[in-house]
Amino acid sequence: MAKSKISVRKSGRGRSRKASARLPAARDAIALLKADHHQVREWFEQFQTARSSARKQVLAGQICEALKVHTQIEEELFYPAFLAATGEVAIHHEAEVEHNGAKRLIDEIGPSGVQDDYFDAKVTVLAEMIRHHVNEEEKRDGMFAKARQSDMDLAGLGQRLASRKAELTGMKEAGEEEPASRSAVSLSANRRSSVVARLAKRD
pTM metric for this prediction: 0.74
CATH number at 184 reads: 1.20.120
| pLDDT reported for residue 175 | 58
Q: How many CA atoms lie within 13 A of 43 on its CB side?
A: 23
3-class DSSP assignment, residue 30: helix
**Is 4 inside a domain boundary?**
no
Q: Is residue 138 part of a domain?
A: yes
Sorted by sequence, the CB contacts under 8 Å of residue 119 that are 6+ apart come out as 56, 60, 109, 112, 113
Position 106 scores a pLDDT of: 97
- In the chain, the percentage of residues whose pLDDT exceeds 90 is 67
Measure CA 155 to chain center: 15
User: In this structure, is residue 14 part of a structural domain?
Assistant: no
pLDDT over 90 (residue 63): yes
Rounded to an integer, the average pLDDT of 29-41 is: 97
Residue 160 domain-assigned (yes or no): yes
**138: CB partners within 8 A, 6+ apart:** 34, 37, 144
Write out the residue range of the structural domain in which residue 187 sits. 27-202
pLDDT tier at 27, thresholds 50, 70, 90: confident
Residue 52 region, left (φ>0) first, then alpha (ψ -120 to 50), else beta? beta
Q: Taking residues 39-68, what's their average pLDDT? A: 96
- Asked if the structure places residue 49 within a domain, the reply is yes
Domain membership flag for residue 83 = yes
What gap in Å lies between CA 58 and CA 187, rounded to an integer? 31
Q: Give 127-185 pLDDT, tens digit per residue.
A: 999 999 999 999 999 999 999 999 999 999 999 999 999 999 886 655 565 654 444 44
Asked if residue 15 belongs to a domain, the reply is no
Dist CA 149 CA 187 (whole Å): 26
Number of domains making up the chain: 1
The answer as to whether 8 is a domain residue is no
- The mean pLDDT value of the chain amounts to 81
Does position 110 have pLDDT exceeding 90, yes or no?
no
Sort residue 100 into left (φ over 0), alpha (ψ -120 to 50) or beta: alpha
Lowest mean per-residue pLDDT among 82-96, 162-176, 189-203: 189-203
